[in-house]
Amino acid sequence: MPNLVSRRQFTVEWAHCDPAGIVFNSRFFEYFDWGTWILFETALGVKPENMSGALGIILPLVDVSARFVTPARFGDVVELYSQIGEFRRSSFDVAHRLMIAGALAVEGRESRVWATRDAASPSGIKALPIPDDIVSRFQM
C-alpha cells in the first residue's frame, strides 16, 4: 500500500547558505524536520505545536542521516518530499528527498520515537506503541 507523501516547495534563502552561496549542510536537517512535521500535520490533522496536548505524544529525533548528491544554492527552488519509510512498534523512519529542477539533490532519513512525557520523571520521556489507527492514516 503506498504511503502518504508530503510536499513543500521553497526557495533557498541567503541565510541558508555559506559565503559561497551553497546551502550549509546542517540546514538540510532543518528541511527534513519541516518535512516530518508537514507530513504529520497532513496525516493527523493536528498542528505540530498542538500535538502534545491533542494526542499526548512527542516525536523525539533519535537518528538522522543524509546523502548529498548535488549542491543546493542560493535562489534554487527546492521540492521537499517526505514519507514514512517504516513503522515499528514505537519508532518510525521518515524518508526525505530534495529535488532541484526535477533532479535529486539530497536524500535523507530520520528515525523518531512515538513517546510521551514520563509522569515518574518530569524531564524524561517514555516510548509508547504506535496505534494501528495512526499508522493507517499514513497509508493511502
| CA-wise closest residue to 10 among 70, 71, 99 | 99
Distance CA 26, CA 57 (A): 26
pTM: 0.92
Distance CA 87, CA 95 (A): 12
Query: 111 is in which domain, residue-wise?
Result: 5-136
Distance CA 137, CA 130 (A): 12
Residues 63-88 have pLDDT tens digits of 999 999 999 999 999 999 999 999 99
CATH number where 39 lies: 3.10.129.10
List 107's β-bridge partners, or say none.
67, 97
Residues 88-120 have pLDDT tens digits of 999 999 999 999 999 999 999 999 999 998 888
How many domains does the chain contain in total?
1
